[in-house]
Structure 1
Amino acid sequence: MATRSVYKGSRRKLVLAFDIGTTFSGISYSILDPGQVPEIKGVTRFPANEHISGASKIPTIIYYDAQGKVRAVGAEATCEGILEQAQDGNWTKAEWFKLHLRSKIGAGKTLTEHIPDLPPNKTVIEVFADFLRYMLQCAKSYIEDTHANGPDLWTSVEGDIDFVLSHPNGWEGTEQTQMRKAIVLSGLIPDTDSGHSRVSFVTEGEASLHYAIQNSVLSTSMKKGNGIVIVDAGGGTIDISSYSDVADSTTNSYEEIAVPQCHFHGAIFVSLLAKVFLEEFLKDSDFVDDVEHIVKCFNETTKPRFRNIEEPQYVKFGSLRDNDPLVNIRIGQLKLAGSDVAKFFEPSINCIATSVLEQCRTSHTKIAHVVLVGGFAANDWMFNSVSKLLSKQDLNVLRPENHVNKAVSDGAISFYLDHFVRSRVSRLAYGTMGARAYAPWDAEHRARQKDLYRSASGQLLVSGAFFIALPKNVQVSETKEFRISMVQEARYRMLSSSITCEVWCYRGMGPPPQWEDLGAGKFSHLCDISANVSHVIQPRIGLTGQMYYEQDFDMVLLFGLTELKAQIAWKENGVEKRGPAKIVYDPVSDAPGDTTPTLLPPPPTNSHPSGGSPFSPSKKNKKKKGNRA
């Protein structure tokens, strides 16, 4: 286990980590006392789960009545009699609602038909907020009941709690923004800059790494300098991440060594395949109307216990009087062939094996070990099948001995306290759309005559160019800066006091093309970065001798954190100044839209007029007077 420093703050503080999963959710926390070494603890008692010793998670379920009021949450929503109350009261159940937050790009766009609808007149942010509010109440009750002077302890920290929210590897700023809106709506933090600063985000993969470090899983595997793949197998997603320790570091520091992956092949998809099979298998039976109940019983007993393909599997769902020998139902039990049950797991198992091998192929460091965590990883058939496939590639597969389903929430607290990861790998290629100085000898420029226009400075430009800031699969430290050197021009002194820079990403397989129209729909808008630039307006003389006005500044971006951060930078009398910039995420668009730029990136030093990039890490690009790349 990694050693942890004492808390150096001046007053007591509480950190809460909420792991809101597709099917189950958990809470971990740490009470930070000045001069004491913080400890990670878990909430292990929830309403309606008091009789279960050490219960670390509750179902991610909410019941709403017809007026939209919350009626039952978590384990309370699964109590005996709740289903009858729900039917009598016309309640609506919200489950798997986390998946409504997912990106609609890529694999996520095909999931809609498999995800239960949200309750009427409820948005996913509202449902998420209601669940967050309930989680806070559970944490409060547990801390007050289990700590000495618990009520006084809670009162001393409740006004300034820091929160850590985990999310799948594939989620980006858009999804983080929705989660932040939900936590504001829940009332857990105020909608202010200081309130927003109390929320941190961490991917489930990185949280799982921290959990593995704290539980000494990596102590032997990392000694030889090999990389390790963390597989967080949860209810909805399979999150794949790879790391290695930093060889020359004197502290516990790790670096991401491959692009993390997120796949919709979690435990619920085993259940979906079981449902499809049973609907067909029982279609001519009187029990076809019981498929939903049979699948529920399968989820609770047969699925988690399945381990042997050679043995028949039984799903107990009815009474002694429920019999149909034609479909293997006897005394309330459905008999299934082990080989059929194995097929329900097959896509998830193959997904994990294929993804791990892809991590090995693209990693910056040799990988020798694979660690499985998450509730789905507790299934012996899944774990043993993955181990068998990967052992053929000389990979050692292991899983922690204790509470693999608490890996994310405990790891999220460790992320807050220990911060082991110092560099991360870029998920995509990032850049911006802009214009290049027209070069008539360049065939690509001549092919875009319709995109020509003349700027206020008199420069002839061709729009629709993509300028790459950061390629895909590049290791980026947390402190490394990337700059978008931007220029806005106007003939009159009527430039806006604020400016917006669009950040785009390329989601194709290979390197991004230099022109948007060659991207085959693979470019998508990531976010807008806005800042006040009224103080950087300067008069200039254009190519025709006419005066025009120019705003010359840099957008400074940090891609190496768990959230994108931005600032604006400009020069005053040769001295760089900096100011705040706001990042605004819109719903992801498949088309760039109007690319006629109002922001013209200048070329780098000594660049050819037809090429160049407006970006450079840590160092601003110099400009040739009158040129715009």
Structure 2
Amino acid sequence: MRPREPYSGPAPKLILGIDIGTTFAGMSYCLLEPGSIPDILPVTRFPAQDHIGGDSKVPSVVYYDRSGMVRACGAEALQESVVEQAVQERWEKAEWFKLHLRPSTSLSILPLSLPPLPANKSALEVYADFLRYLFYCARLYITHLYSNGGALWISLEGKMEFVLTHPNGWEGEQQAKMRRATVMAGLIPGTYTGHQRVRFVTEGEASLHFCIMNGLATDPLRRGNGVVIIDAGGGTIDVSAYRKVATSKGETFEEIARPQCLFAGSIWVSNRAREHLRTKLRGSRYAGDVDHIRECFDRTTKLRFRRTDDLQYIKFGRPGDNNEALNITSGQLKLEGGIVATFFKPSLDAILIAMANLSPLSPISSVLLVGGFGASDWLYSELKARLKFQGLDVSRPDSHVNKAVADGAVSFYLDHFVSVRVSKHTYGLECVTAYVSDDAEHRARLKSAVKDAAGDLMIPKMFSPILLKNIPISETREYRESYWKLKNNPSELQMVKVPILSYRGQNPAPRWTDVEPEQYKVLCTVHADTSKIAKTLQRKLGLSGVYYRLDLEVILSFGLTEVKAQIAWVENGVEKRGPATLVYDEVS
């Protein structure tokens, strides 16, 4: 890793990386001071967790009372007194809420159902409430850590910048929701300038930054070989692949395969264990203890599980709890290792299928397993054994995996190692095209033809690709697509709204949006103010009378961690550009 340069900004700045995982959350930060080399530090103390030295994570849990007020978050929500009060006063618990933000395209692929959200609470509201809590924790930690912490925080809070992480499968719609949540939580104002203080990075790319910072997989990367990062978390497992390349500006990293997001994290292991226990204990005196036994499994057995040949024990009760038929002795439930392996196996299989479908653009030699679920010895040993036959060496960090993504988020801001990313889908516009009688597809669609404002016959529902799937994209590359609109009145051309579609099917050259219509999704809509251009348009005479034609180009940058847009037009022979806003209609 190249050494960081001293911060050259005119004034101190605070960068906060926030990783809200399905089951646990973590934060890291960097205090940028002019002339000093930046250093990344974790937040290691949270309320009700002060007695645990150096703990970099806190449970992603929120309790609401019956009026909808937040009553406890994080480690506080797990305190026995809080749990007792929650039961007595019928509070509602929000957990795994992050997965409720998942893209609509993944709604049907969850292995099991999620816990419901509290009444009258959206996933966005819960996410915002938890963000507010984490921000409070960061303020508490930093103000107590530094001798002038209170004054320091006040001086930096109004210009603080944030890096939020999300699974590989999250896209612009989810990023828009997360940015809105930062406004709702009071971290930033809801202005253009405020919005610019929030950046996003995938958990896979954040994990790569962590691995580079900690010298992991340096040999294969130095040789130019590809490395796969498997970030195994509570809800999702992110699979990403990168290689190091030399450029005229120094070393950089390129994504060499489409990032994948698997709903196969450790919570699904727990869910499968609960389903097995529910069946096993049905009709017995222990049937009502299934959730408690599953929690005991999570805290002990799941973490210790290594070999299918060994018997596994879940200690959940008192010495007097015995039932030979159910294999319960002295408060311990005995399970065969092979049974426990069935709880884990679907997650292993999902990773192996993802590896088989990776189709990297460069050879791969190493796999790095990170994330909380990556601490599973069974998962690690099975992956190591299975992937060995593919010539892949699997390794994992010895420690600090619980802060990998949060540290990596801040490193993304400071170091920005990745300069090339791979397109996840095929992107383009739906448009009309002039009818061509020699085209067989046009003739077959003649019944759907319409006349435009100029009176010409047009065929609708054509798909015009801007970017194909599996294409390496540099951060600086722009993708342009011509767009025109004809109207009889120029007042109708003062604003344009251009939907950007993503095609998720297997056709390498999709042409019509009414073929496989279920595979086309609106990624976002480009909104642009074209009132100044509309004033310059000249009258034209067509077959149906007078019309006006607006010509412009939509310019998209796909190589960043967020899609960016502009519009361009020609005025007096000179290209001019203007801003455009990406609107995600499903933000709520």
Measured in 2, the distance between the counterparts of 1:349 and 1:123 equals 32
Measured in 2, the distance between the counterparts of 1:152 and 1:332 equals 54
Q: What 5-or-longer segments of structure 2 have no aligned partner?
A: none
1:151 maps to 150
Partner amino acid for 2:231? D
Measured in 2, the distance between the counterparts of 1:399 and 1:304 equals 16
Asked if structure 2 preserves the Cα contact closer than 8 Å seen for 1:566 and 1:582, the reply is yes
Q: Which moved more, 1:283-292 or 1:519-528?
A: 519-528
Following superposition of structure 1 onto structure 2, how do residues 475-624 of structure 1 map, counting pairs within 5 Å? 475-537=472-534, 538-544=537-543, 546-587=545-586
Q: Matched residue of 2:221: which SS?
A: coil
How far the C-alpha of 1:587 sits from its partner, in A, is 2.8
Deviations along 1:486-542, one digit per CA (max 9) or x if unpaired, are: 111122333231111110011112314211122252111111101011222312434
Deviations along 1:560-598, one digit per CA (max 9) or x if unpaired, are: 00000001111111111111101111239xxxxxxxxxx
2:383 maps to 386
1:231 maps to 230
Q: Matched residue of 2:56: which SS?
A: coil
Partner amino acid for 1:428? H
Following superposition of structure 1 onto structure 2, how do residues 53-452 of structure 1 map, counting pairs within 5 Å? 53-106=53-106, 108-111=107-110, 114-359=113-358, 362-452=359-449
Deviations along 1:587-610, one digit per CA (max 9) or x if unpaired, are: 39xxxxxxxxxxxxxxxxxxxxxx
Partner amino acid for 2:298? N
1:610 maps to none
How far the C-alpha of 1:545 sits from its partner, in A, is 9.1
Measured in 2, the distance between the counterparts of 1:230 and 1:346 equals 20
Asked if structure 2 preserves the Cα contact closer than 8 Å seen for 1:429 and 1:512, the reply is no
How far the C-alpha of 1:71 sits from its partner, in A, is 0.8
How far the C-alpha of 1:110 sits from its partner, in A, is 4.2
The 1:42–1:196 alpha-carbon spacing in structure 2 relative to 1, beyond 3 Å, is same
The 1:437–1:88 alpha-carbon spacing in structure 2 relative to 1, beyond 3 Å, is same
Q: Matched residue of 1:530: which SS?
A: strand
Asked if structure 2 preserves the Cα contact closer than 8 Å seen for 1:558 and 1:566, the reply is yes
Measured in 1, the distance between the counterparts of 2:27 and 2:288 equals 37
Measured in 2, the distance between the counterparts of 1:576 and 1:180 equals 32
Asked if structure 1 preserves the Cα contact closer than 8 Å seen for 2:503 and 2:520, the reply is yes
Measured in 2, the distance between the counterparts of 1:208 and 1:453 equals 51
1:617 maps to none
Asked if structure 2 preserves the Cα contact closer than 8 Å seen for 1:102 and 1:175, the reply is yes
Measured in 1, the distance between the counterparts of 2:115 and 2:544 equals 64
Asked if structure 2 preserves the Cα contact closer than 8 Å seen for 1:426 and 1:559, the reply is yes
Asked if structure 1 preserves the Cα contact closer than 8 Å seen for 2:565 and 2:580, the reply is yes
Deviations along 1:219-263, one digit per CA (max 9) or x if unpaired, are: 212121111111000000010011111233553310111100001
Q: Matched residue of 1:105: which SS?
A: helix
Partner amino acid for 1:99? L
1:20 maps to 20
% identity of equivalent residues = 50
How far the C-alpha of 1:368 sits from its partner, in A, is 0.8
How far the C-alpha of 1:546 sits from its partner, in A, is 4.4
Asked if structure 2 preserves the Cα contact closer than 8 Å seen for 1:7 and 1:35, the reply is yes
How far the C-alpha of 1:81 sits from its partner, in A, is 2.0
Measured in 1, the distance between the counterparts of 2:544 and 2:394 equals 70
Asked if structure 2 preserves the Cα contact closer than 8 Å seen for 1:526 and 1:586, the reply is no
Measured in 1, the distance between the counterparts of 2:288 and 2:490 equals 72
Q: What 5-or-longer segments of structure 1 have no aligned partner?
A: 589-629
Q: Which moved more, 1:559-568 or 1:546-555?
A: 546-555
Partner amino acid for 1:351? A
Q: Matched residue of 1:307: which SS?
A: coil
Measured in 1, the distance between the counterparts of 2:173 and 2:544 equals 45
Partner amino acid for 2:150? P
How far the C-alpha of 1:290 sits from its partner, in A, is 0.4
How far the C-alpha of 1:454 sits from its partner, in A, is 1.6
How far the C-alpha of 1:112 sits from its partner, in A, is 9.3
Deviations along 1:351-382, one digit per CA (max 9) or x if unpaired, are: 112212322xx111111111111000011111
Deviations along 1:259-290, one digit per CA (max 9) or x if unpaired, are: 00001000001001101111111113211110
Q: Matched residue of 1:553: which SS?
A: strand
How far the C-alpha of 1:111 sits from its partner, in A, is 3.3
Measured in 2, the distance between the counterparts of 1:250 and 1:312 equals 56
Partner amino acid for 1:372? L
Asked if structure 1 preserves the Cα contact closer than 8 Å seen for 2:111 and 2:263, the reply is no
Partner amino acid for 1:569? A
2:48 maps to 48
How far the C-alpha of 1:544 sits from its partner, in A, is 3.7
Q: Matched residue of 1:494: which SS?
A: helix
Measured in 1, the distance between the counterparts of 2:476 and 2:212 equals 23
Asked if structure 2 preserves the Cα contact closer than 8 Å seen for 1:513 and 1:519, the reply is no
Measured in 2, the distance between the counterparts of 1:313 and 1:113 equals 24
Asked if structure 2 preserves the Cα contact closer than 8 Å seen for 1:445 and 1:462, the reply is yes
Measured in 1, the distance between the counterparts of 2:568 and 2:517 equals 34
Measured in 2, the distance between the counterparts of 1:480 and 1:458 equals 37
Asked if structure 2 preserves the Cα contact closer than 8 Å seen for 1:18 and 1:166, the reply is yes
How far the C-alpha of 1:2 sits from its partner, in A, is 3.6
Please, what is the CA RMSD of the aligned residues?
Answer: 1.4
Q: Matched residue of 1:431: which SS?
A: strand
Measured in 1, the distance between the counterparts of 2:183 and 2:327 equals 52
Q: Matched residue of 1:495: which SS?
A: helix
Measured in 2, the distance between the counterparts of 1:326 and 1:252 equals 63
Partner amino acid for 1:366? P
Q: Which moved more, 1:499-508 or 1:144-153?
A: 144-153
Equivalent pairs counted in the alignment come to 585
Partner amino acid for 1:53? G
1:615 maps to none
Q: Matched residue of 1:37: which SS?
A: coil
Asked if structure 1 preserves the Cα contact closer than 8 Å seen for 2:112 and 2:268, the reply is no
Q: Matched residue of 2:246: which SS?
A: coil
Partner amino acid for 2:374? A
Measured in 1, the distance between the counterparts of 2:222 and 2:372 equals 28
Asked if structure 2 preserves the Cα contact closer than 8 Å seen for 1:506 and 1:512, the reply is no
Measured in 1, the distance between the counterparts of 2:154 and 2:173 equals 34
Asked if structure 2 preserves the Cα contact closer than 8 Å seen for 1:481 and 1:558, the reply is yes
Deviations along 1:155-187, one digit per CA (max 9) or x if unpaired, are: 221121101100000001111111111110001
Measured in 2, the distance between the counterparts of 1:508 and 1:373 equals 31
Deviations along 1:279-308, one digit per CA (max 9) or x if unpaired, are: 111113211110000001111111011112
